[in-house]
Structure 1
Amino acid sequence: MQLAILLEDFCHESTYIRGVSKNTIRRYRQNISYFITATDSQTIQKVNEQVVKKFFLHGRIEKQWKTSSYRTYYMTLVVFFRWCIKQGHLEQNPMEDFQLPILEKSLPKKLKKQEALLLLEYAYNYPYTQSYLKYRNHAIFSTFLFAGLRKSELLHLKLSDVDLENLTLFVRQGKGNKDRIIPISYTLAQSLNRYLLARKKSRKTCPEFFTSSNRNGGFTASGLKIITKQIKTASKLDFTIHKLRHTFATLMLEGGCDIFSLSKMMGHSDIKTTTIYLSATAEHLRSQVTKHPLNRK
């Protein structure tokens, strides 16, 4: 049986039966297609433990995969091979005796408070060709820094998801296909309101909250990449969109937010994921160490 055909069947079932997200399906396609090409395994009959082991060694030695990349390929292939066994295309999983390497515990990279403020200043004062871009881009970066949304969550935000009257954002089908409500601050609400006025003035009527400047449609990932590059160059700040999410989390903790509430706002399925930010903020740790009873006179 051709692996390419099995991959299509696997992705089809994962989408319509298991309800796997589009991002996960994209990862399945990319990783399994690369495995087929790299190992020259056109059929499932050619797949065995030695072929798979050689693939991972090549990735670690020649491609210099990080542990996170290794684990991503591992999780994709082990799920795919289990499916192949269930469908009767394999007798046993060629990755049955594989062990996952321990993931390095590196602190999430973030911007400092002053750097975050500087970013917002550049986003607002950049010499744009039209005023609409000033209000939209400031609102976009404000949403990342004040609400901690993921890139895909911001791009999929609908006009009806933003409730400025009740100061909430509704995230539809975030990571893990989970909905969540995020409270927003007055500062973010002001930025969003300025953008909505500019949006109305520009006669944007599409359902997406953030829109393109030259058409009546939703803002795109490529457009976000362009404005991120513009602000990075102008401000000389080294940041990514995901780094802004890390910045939101650490600043919230420094401001006194409890870890449980932060976990809910971030959309983490396991609070352990959120606890890494406790190590990333010296201010939070400093405030906690003062609680030692011997400090009291």
Structure 2
Amino acid sequence: MTTQGAVREKRQVHVVTGGKIQSKRSKTPQNDTAHRHDPFFVKDFLAYLQIERNASPYTLSNYGAELEKFASFLKSQGILDIRKVDILLLRKYLLYIKERRNLGNRTIALKIATLRSYSKFLRVSEIIKNDPSLKLTTPRFPEPQINYLTKEELLLFLSLPDRIAPRFVGERERDKVIFHLLVFGGLRRAEILGLKWQDIDLSSGWMMVRRAKGNKTRTVPLAAPLEEALKQLRAVMRPQPEEFVLLDQKRRPISVSSFYNIFNRYLILSGIGRHVTPHSFRHSCANCVGQKRRKSPLSTRDLGALQYNYYKHVYSCGESGSESCCR
């Protein structure tokens, strides 16, 4: 982000017009009203992520919040022109947030990734000439400890809905489907909540996951236990094709908070005294796919993340949970 001073040069800015990002040749920043209101082009960057990269609202919110902090820091340093930012200023910002908020290396690495993505957009858009973020060094941090469930623990969760009395018609079958989707499908929470009956083909043994990460769509094979659980729920609820699979007592789609209330209820009943989340089941399913690929109908592509090498070095062969979702 080299200093241009008073040099008047044309630049290319991405603007949103009719739902598409278009390139627009603009005049100098001094005469650009949009530049005065958003001198760091944060809104243009977020529009680029939303339209061209199909970023989720959660991603846009995180990027926007982080870049707002960066913009506030630049203003506190008297910087109102993004082209005046250099590597020294970037390092000063990272040191500032690290000391002020006592951030770890993993969090700093995420913030560096945000700055690199943002700076790349500015360079490709010809707003800046050089990208100082390329000179930043990502700090090292230890590999995360993957939290997964053993075979016995997974079987326990699958059996819990049958051990307690349902409070309304279809509750038991619905809760069984939740844990079968977690264990045998490896679905994320948002993917489970977005699943509709029209996305499931029980005759061919496939389901379409439409709310995958990054707003992508993928097909996932139905393991026999999952297929049976879905048939039981359909027989009780007699749903319409356009209805969501998971409904509450009033046949309304369950919310995120309701989903966690259901999950935490069974977590307490299980008696497992350690930290377990819905994503722990996804790790367990990835472990199954990685170690027992021949028995599992799933692949890493079905999980929506080609990260077998990542899981391979974390899980060891022969763990008791390796066959958990293969049957």
| TM-score normalised by structure 1 residue count | 0.78
Which secondary structure state, in structure 2, belongs to the residue aligned with residue 219 of structure 1? Answer: coil
Which stretch has the larger CA shift, 245-254 or 58-67? 58-67
**Pair 11,236 (structure 1): closer, same or farther in 2 beyond 3 Å:** same
What's the counterpart of residue 182 of structure 1?
220
Given that residues 148 and 280 in structure 2 are in contact (C-alpha distance below 8 angstroms), is that contact kept between their aligned partners in structure 1?
Answer: yes
* 1:212-246 deviations in Å (ceiling 9; x for gaps): 31444433222222222222222233311111100
Alignment coverage as a number of residue pairs: 280
Percent of matched pairs sharing the same residue: 20
What's the counterpart of residue 262 of structure 1?
299
Is 1:129 aligned with 2:167? yes
What's the counterpart of residue 45 of structure 1?
81
CA distance in 2, matches of 1:213, 1:32: 39
Report which of the two structures shows the higher radius of gyration computed on alpha carbons.
Answer: 2
CA distance in 1, matches of 2:166, 2:319: 41
What's the counterpart of residue 147 of structure 1?
185
**Pair 245,285 (structure 1): closer, same or farther in 2 beyond 3 Å:** closer
CA distance in 2, matches of 1:180, 1:168: 10
Is 1:231 aligned with 2:266? yes
Which stretch has the larger CA shift, 204-213 or 145-154? 204-213
**Displacement of 1:274 after TM fit?**
1.1
What's the counterpart of residue 309 of structure 2?
275
CA distance in 2, matches of 1:130, 1:2: 55
CA distance in 1, matches of 2:225, 2:148: 21
Which stretch has the larger CA shift, 187-196 or 228-237? 228-237
What's the counterpart of residue 65 of structure 2?
30
Given that residues 223 and 297 in structure 2 are in contact (C-alpha distance below 8 angstroms), is that contact kept between their aligned partners in structure 1?
Answer: no
Q: Which runs of 5+ in 1 are unaligned?
A: 287-297
Is 1:241 aligned with 2:290? no
**Pair 119,95 (structure 1): closer, same or farther in 2 beyond 3 Å:** same
CA distance in 2, matches of 1:168, 1:61: 50
Is 1:250 aligned with 2:287? yes
CA distance in 1, matches of 2:95, 2:124: 27
What's the counterpart of residue 164 of structure 1?
202
CA distance in 2, matches of 1:224, 1:43: 46
CA distance in 2, matches of 1:212, 1:55: 47
Given that residues 168 and 249 in structure 2 are in contact (C-alpha distance below 8 angstroms), is that contact kept between their aligned partners in structure 1?
Answer: no
Given that residues 158 and 179 in structure 2 are in contact (C-alpha distance below 8 angstroms), is that contact kept between their aligned partners in structure 1?
Answer: yes
RMSD: 3.3
CA distance in 2, matches of 1:29, 1:208: 34
**Displacement of 1:21 after TM fit?**
3.6
Which secondary structure state, in structure 2, belongs to the residue aligned with residue 181 of structure 1? Answer: strand
| TM-score normalised by structure 2 residue count | 0.72
* 1:71-111 deviations in Å (ceiling 9; x for gaps): 32222222223323444554543423101123532342100
CA distance in 2, matches of 1:4, 1:125: 60
**Pair 121,15 (structure 1): closer, same or farther in 2 beyond 3 Å:** same
